Amino acid sequence: MKRILVTGGLGFIGSHTVVELQNEGFEVIIIDDLSNSSIDVLEGITSITGKKPIFEKLDLKDQSAIQQFFKNYTDIQGIIHFAASKAVGESVQKPLLYYHNNISSLVYLLEEMLKNRVNNFIFSSSCTVYGQADVMPITENAPFKTAESPYGNTKQIGEEIIADTSKTTNLEAIALRYFNPIGAHSTAKIGELPIGIPQNLIPFVTQTAAGIREQLSVFGGDYPTADGTAIRDYIHVVDLAKAHVAALNRLLDKKNKQSFEVFNIGTGKGSSVLEVINAFEKVSGQQLNYKIVDRREGDIIEAYADTSLANKELGWKANSTLEEALASAWKWQLALK
């Protein structure tokens, strides 16, 4: 069995990717520092696949711990790197925490993996690198805009570190620029576990419907869109997880055309906040209590992906509809009670 390291593998996207890797017959090792995830997710993964991943609690800011890890675990065929802090608002308040956690750990991981002749690397990037793109749908050639937050900046810097490193070492890397991941595994044994008040739309929607939150605030009703609310490309997290397996296989099969490649991973369809609310009410049968309030600082108007490059080169396409993804998020919320 090919052995794959997944950093941040107990997180929302990481855990769903571990399940898909195991389904494909890979042996998975998870590194996670549990700073924004729960050890219970390991049991959730195991209950879905019947295979318990190897787990190492490790802080990637500790370079000697990474050196020791590669002494303990040899013959790793590839790494999928999710481990990072990802709250946009928090990053504005604590920039150094984000640059330290997201950039130092990336540099240490790259240094140690290459020393140990592990060359295949999948990087968790984000459509946030585009800022408010000028043209919809957004292609991979859209330019980086000045990042709206230190979080977004760490994704831009991360891609540039990988691109530069791949030019002068044996690193073979792919960055996947996620649009908006939502939903949960169909078994409702793993899903999104926001700690505290959810920053993202869908967990706030499901927690409001479940009576945990009083009312959803819709951030802005005066955007230049059909219904005045902002538009995003909401992709089912399982579709996103499968894109990681496709990207990893591209590197393992040496089908990549450059030593650093980038792909937009979305559905290619934009949905407004009000369209999401209407779709959620339809699939859940719940009337959602919401109120349109002022725009949120730093939000963009519209983002949805041109996914033709990933469709063609990765042989991957998102399958789930917005309704199916929202239904899975609601099923997960009900299972959490």
Q: Which of residues 117-156 bind ligand WQD (CB under 6 A)?
A: 126, 128
Which CB sits closer to ligand WQD, 102 or 180?
A: 180
Q: Does 218 bind ligand WQD (CB under 6 A)?
A: yes
Residue 241 sits at the vertex; the CA angle it makes with 140 and 141, to the nearest 5 degrees, is 0
Residue 160 neighbours by CB under 8 Å, 6+ apart: none
Q: Does 204 bind ligand WQD (CB under 6 A)?
A: yes
Query: Using CB under 6 A, which of the segments 35-43, 99-107, 215-223, 322-330 binds ligand WQD?
Result: 215-223
Output DSSP code: residue 217: E
Q: Which of residues 263-282 bind ligand WQD (CB under 6 A)?
A: 273
* Cα–Cα distance, 164 to 34 (Å, whole number): 30
Q: Which residue out of 98, 130, 151, 234 is catalytically annotated?
A: 151
Which CB sits closer to ligand WQD, 155 or 189?
A: 155
The CA-based dihedral angle spanning residues 96, 100, 101, 102, taken in that order and rounded to the nearest 10 degrees: 100
Count of residues near ligand WQD by CB under 6 A = 18
Q: Does 86 bind ligand WQD (CB under 6 A)?
A: yes
**Catalytic-residue membership of 304:** no
Contact assessment for residue 108 and residue 84, using Cβ atoms and an 8 Å cutoff:
no
Query: Using CB under 6 A, which of the segments 130-138, 165-173, 196-204, 257-265 binds ligand WQD?
Result: 196-204
Minimum CB–partner distance for residue 1 and ligand WQD (Å): 30
Minimum CB–partner distance for residue 205 and ligand WQD (Å): 8
Q: Find the binder of ligand WQD among 171, 201, 238, 265 (CB under 6 A).
A: 201
Q: Does 296 bind ligand WQD (CB under 6 A)?
A: yes
Minimum CB–partner distance for residue 217 and ligand WQD (Å): 5
218: β partners: 292
What number of other Cβ atoms are within 10 A of residue 91's Cβ?
23
Q: Find the binder of ligand WQD among 6, 42, 79, 88 (CB under 6 A).
A: 88
Output DSSP code: residue 221: S
Residue 245 sits at the vertex; the CA angle it makes with 241 and 248, to the nearest 5 degrees, is 135
Question: Crossing angle for the helix pair 105-115 and 63-72, nearest 10 degrees?
Answer: 30
Minimum CB–partner distance for residue 289 and ligand WQD (Å): 12
Measure Cα distances from 311 to 73, 87, 159, 289, 306 in Å.
34, 29, 21, 38, 10
Contact assessment for residue 57 and residue 34, using Cβ atoms and an 8 Å cutoff:
yes
Q: Find the binder of ligand WQD among 73, 99, 144, 219 (CB under 6 A).
A: 219
Question: Crossing angle for the helix pair 237-252 and 12-23, nearest 10 degrees?
Answer: 60
Nearest by Cα to 139 from 301, 311, 309, 270: 309
Q: Does 230 bind ligand WQD (CB under 6 A)?
A: yes
Q: Find the binder of ligand WQD among 187, 217, 308, 321 (CB under 6 A).
A: 217
The two three-digit tokens of residue 210, written as one number: 């479940």
Which CB sits closer to ligand WQD, 56 or 299?
A: 299
Q: Which are the catalytic amino acids?
A: 151
| Residue numbers at the binding site for ligand WQD (CB under 6 A) | 86, 88, 126, 128, 180, 199-201, 204, 216-219, 230, 232, 273, 296, 299
